Structure 1
Amino acid sequence: KKEGEKGDHNYSKALEKNDQNLAVAKIQEYLDKGQNVPLNIAVTGETGSGKSSFVNAIRGIDNKDEKAAATGCVETTMEVTSYPHPNYPNVIFWDLPGIGSTNFPAAKYLKMVGFEKFDFFIIISADRFRENDLKLAKEIQRMEKKFYFVRSKIDDNIQCSFDINAVINFEYYFLSIYIYCIYINIPQKVFLVSSVDLTLYDFPLLVETLKEELPELKKEAFVLAMPNISLDMIKKKKKAFQAKVKYFAILSAGVGAVPVPGVSVAVDTALLVGVVTKYVLGFGLDIPSLKRMANYSGVPYEELMEVIKSTLIAVKVTPELLLRLLVQFSSLAVLLAAEEGTRFIPIVGIPISMGLSFTFTYRSLNMILDMLADDAEKVFARVHLNTTG
């Protein structure tokens, strides 16, 4: 079995043995493991290449944010510095000092920065890749780590070309960069990126490439930590969340076996609060994320709030808030009432209650997921309109 399939495999074996408690324990173990899996991404390159701006952009924050990596025209990163994702602290971007600087000579660079802890390296250059970049790539390759070349500040390069030429052929310009990289023996695809607007150029392709080459559990953590750079990214996040819905519904069904009035409903709603809060954070619909988006995009926070429909966004998700929302839907209200009513029917009551609990949680999470994904798409469309208009 692959890493991402172990949850299915383990809990299925428990169910085959008719051991409900073991199945629930295995599912909880699987969910906890996925939530806490560490992902360490190193961002390196020569001094002044735009490493810190890239670290900020990929975390979805402005350079002036209090959690931002320091940026500047001179070397601002003097030591290996970690920058956890604001919503997914297990996903950490490491801003490494510039290779070839006095304190970090190329020959000793990897050892000095502690290369072994990183899952992969992103090597950034502002204008063209140089000898130190190639040396670093070969050493990373020798140590059997993944690395990716990124040309940053493409928007600045294009502006300089406009200043020199009245007309610029973008396809020819980008092709010339790729050809140059082949000429100097860059060993793989080079991604052209603007930290000012990640929806442009090769950043979506970079994200897709990184995602595909990560192990399953780390792949999910990476996707959820990425900013909403496209409608496709929002759909990928929704798909990742949807894949776990059945597990949470089984956990809910396990509690449905408890023959105590109100316990199942209380636990169901508490479980829903935790899961829905993760949805809100993953889609970047919490207050801090929306305010960071407003600062980063230039769209006022109030305007982002205007396009949002769900009552679960930009508020603290509580059991009371969730129940008020869910009982507005008659089918869910009936399920909730039936779950409590059937619990004390002799012999068949508990199995029926467990089934109703599963169905209630499964339908509730899918319905809420649809609502939040729809709002995330609306926010993206409003921001995209501002950046392209």
Structure 2
Amino acid sequence: MESQSSDINEAIQASGEATLEQATKKAKEEINSFFNVRLDIAVTGESGSGKSSFVNALRGLKDNDEDAAPTGVTETTTEPTPYQHPTMPNVTLWDLPGIGTPKFKAKTYLKNVTFDRYDFFLIVSSVRFRENDIMLAKEIKKKKKVFYFVRSKIDHDVQSEKRKGIDKKETLSKIRTNCEEELKRIGNPNIFLVSSWDTSKFDFEKLIGILESELPQNKRNTLLQFVPVCTVAILEKKVRMFQKIAWAAALLSGAVAVAPVPGLSFSCDMSIVGSFFTSIYHSFGLDDKSLKRLSERVNKPHLKSLKMSPLVEKLIKISSLRLGASALGEFLCSLVPAAGSAAAAVISFTTTRNVLLKGLDALAEEARKVLREAGLE
């Protein structure tokens, strides 16, 4: 019990609060933020720049998937169009009309697309950044919001130049230099070279890293949850994020265990465990749709036959048995005033934390195996 008390004291200390009650309140706020904080991302640029394909890539979809943003050789977006993330309804990517089109002239563009709605802007171009892009960036900057330049369709450029005998490194250097020259009037903005077809290549991971570091704290976890797992580095960032949130979830479990209500602690713990494992399952790209898309992208058909949902079901079943066994002890302790209630909190915290972390480890290892099989180590 002394070791368990030490664990919960460590969790209280990590929260930055002085008491279990204060730490639990903070944990509740963090859990609510983790699952519910909204993130609205604007993807804009001139027509034909690949905005819609990039929206699809960020949502982990291909252009021909159901619910994907429509794409084409002509402007397909005529109004700001919201696309919810397939598994996170609090994340919306907005496919904005091309700047400079008759209905969305550059000077009134931000007003017409409801500027204040978005957390940040991604300005996309597939050839070169033009006057309208620069004008838009300046206006966004005036209004004290953040923007990033995304040079899309890089895979096409690399292949095209390769046919001329120009290697990938030289092509990327030339494109980056050209972009920097085009945008020098607005200082030294971040420029990211990306392929919507294959987010494991070029600057996609770098883009996510910059966004994560520059977003407000309560938005960072939301961003990291929804971005597709295309590299080991992104996966490991997600693992560390879920490790941190597991402590907050366990603290909530400990607080509920204090109440002498039969079944309350078990019911609460199972709700926490179910939500936690389901979020990991989707965030790590272990759901059937994500595995199918990965299989097609890396041309490894056997990946689509992997079924990870039975593992999640097994983890929840095992968790149910462990939590059920501890729930009886928690309830009996909670009947004893003061010391008994504290013991119940410690038992519940420790059991829930261990269940969550062991389940996370199992799912993370499966995700690492998938990346190895896909050749994305």
TM-score, length of structure 2 as denominator length: 0.86
Query: 2:96, 2:70 → 1: CA distance?
Result: 12
Q: Match of 1:27, as an amino acid?
A: A
Report the 3-state secondary structure (helix = DSSP H, G, I; strand = E; otherwise coil) of the residue aligned with 1:124: strand
- Within-5 A mapping of 1:28-107: 28-107=28-107
CA distance in 2, matches of 1:55, 1:346: 55
Q: Distance in 1 between matches of 2:268 and 2:155?
A: 51
Residues in 2 aligned to 1:257 and 1:182: alpha-carbon distance in whole angstroms: 59
Aligned CA distance change for structure 1 residues 299 and 326 (closer, same or farther; 3 Å): farther
Separation in 2 of the partners of 1:227 and 1:343? 43
Give the equivalent residue in structure 2 for 1:365. Answer: 356
Contact 1:307 / 1:375 at 8 angstroms: preserved in 2? no
Aligned-pair distance for 1:264? 2.8
* Counterpart check, 1:168 vs 2:166: yes
After superposition, what is the alpha-carbon deviation per residue over 1:170-211, rounded to whole angstroms, capped at 9, x for unaligned? 222222222222333343232111111011111111111111
Query: What does residue range 290-329 of structure 1 map to in structure 2 within 5 Å?
Result: 290-294=291-295, 296-300=297-301, 303-306=303-306, 311-313=310-312, 317=313, 322-324=316-318, 327=321
Matches for 1:91-240 after TM superposition, within 5 Å: 91-163=91-163, 165=164, 167-186=165-184, 187=187, 188-240=189-241
Which residue of the partner structure matches residue 286 of structure 1? 287
Question: What letter is aligned with 1:312?
Answer: L
Q: 1:198 to 1:354 in 2, by over 3 A?
A: same
Identity across the alignment (%): 40
Cα shift at 1:92: 1.2
Q: What are structure 2's unaligned runs of at least 5 residues?
A: 1-11
Counterpart residue number, 2:3: none
Q: Relative to structure 1, is the Cα distance of residues 333 and 83 closer, same or farther in structure 2, using a 3 angstrom cutoff?
A: closer
* Structure 2 counterpart of 1:379, from 366, 370, 377: 370
The question of whether the paired residues in 1 share the 8 Å contact of 2:47 and 2:99 is answered with yes
Residues in 1 aligned to 2:80 and 2:171: alpha-carbon distance in whole angstroms: 34
Structure-1 separation of matches of 2:25 and 2:170? 57
| CA distance in structure 2 between the aligned counterparts of 1:323 and 1:338, rounded to whole angstroms | 19
1:345 is displaced (CA, Å) by 6.4
Alpha-carbon distance in structure 2 between the residues aligned to 1:42 and 1:242: 30
Task: Report the alpha carbon displacement of residue 338 of structure 1 after superposing the two structures with TM.
Answer: 4.7
CA separation of 1:321 and 1:148: change in aligned 2, threshold 3 A: closer
Matched AA of 1:269: M
* Aligned residue number for residue 8 of structure 1: 15
Preserved contact between residue 194 and residue 202 of structure 2 (Cα < 8 Å) = yes
Residue deviations 1:242-276 (CA, integer Å, cap 9, x gap): 11212211211122223344443333223212222
Q: Deviations over 1:81-104 (max 9, x none)?
A: 011111112121111111111221
Separation of aligned partners in 1, 2:271 and 2:191:
46
* Partners of 1:282 and 1:305 in 2: CA distance: 19
CA shift in 2, pair 1:275/1:189, >3 Å? closer
Q: Which moved more, 1:251-260 or 1:238-247?
A: 251-260
Instruction: Assess if the C-alpha contact under 8 Å between 2:30 and 2:248 holds in 1.
Output: no
State how 1:318-357 maps to structure 2 within 5 Å.
322-324=316-318, 327=321, 338-339=329-330, 342=333, 348-357=339-348
Cα distance in 2 between the residues matched to 1:321 and 1:363: 12
Which amino acid in structure 2 is aligned with residue 118 of structure 1? Answer: Y
Inter-CA distance 70–160: structure 2 relative to 1 (3 Å threshold): same
Equivalence for 2:250 = 249
TM-score w.r.t. length of structure 1 = 0.84
| CA distance in 2 between partners of 1:346 and 1:151 (Å) | 64
SS at match of 1:384: coil
Counterpart CA distance in 2 for 1:95 and 1:337 is 52
SS in 1 for 2:311: coil
Cα 1:346–1:81 shift into 2, 3 Å: closer
